[in-house]
Structure 1
C-alpha cells in the first residue's frame, strides 16, 4: 500500500522500505542487514545522485529543501 500525504496523494517512499528499516534495526538476521546496507548504498550512488543532479539543474529551490531535511542537525 503506497504512503499518502494529507491530501491523499501518493508519496511513494523515501530511501528505505519498511523491511529495510527492520533489517537495519536488527530485527532480521545479520546477513539481511549487510545486504540492506549494500542496496541503500547503491541507491545513494545511483538514483539519488541522479535526482540531485536533476534538481540542481531544474529546481534549485527544491534541492535546497532537500538539503535542509538531510542536513538538519538534531538536538538529541
Structure 2
C-alpha cells in the first residue's frame, strides 16, 4: 500500500524545509496550500470524526496536542 500524507505532501515538505532548490514563489504556494488545509479541510475532518468516530478523533488529539 502506498504511503499517504496527512497535511503536507513530500514536495511541500521539501519546499517548507528548504531542501528543494526552488524560487520563493513555490515556497509561498506550499505554505498557502498547507494553511488552506488547516483552516478549511481539517475542521471538516474533525467534525466528521467527532460525529462518526470519536475514538479516531481522540487519537488525532493525542498526536496534535502532545506536549513535545
TM-score by length of 2: 0.83
Q: 34, 37, 40: which is aligned to 2:28?
A: 34
For the pair 1:69 / 2:36, whether they are aligned, the reply is no
RMSD between superposed Cα atoms in Å: 1.6
**Long gaps (5+) in structure 1:** 4-11
Give the structure with the larger strand fraction. Answer: 1
- CA shift digits 1:11-54 (9 cap, x unpaired): x3211111000110122322111111111111112221111000
Give the structure with the larger helix fraction. Answer: 2
TM-score by length of 1: 0.76
Which portions of structure 1, spanning 4 or more consecutive aligned residues, are displaced by more than 3 angstroms? none
**Long gaps (5+) in structure 2:** none
Deviation at 1:55, TM superposition (A): 0.5
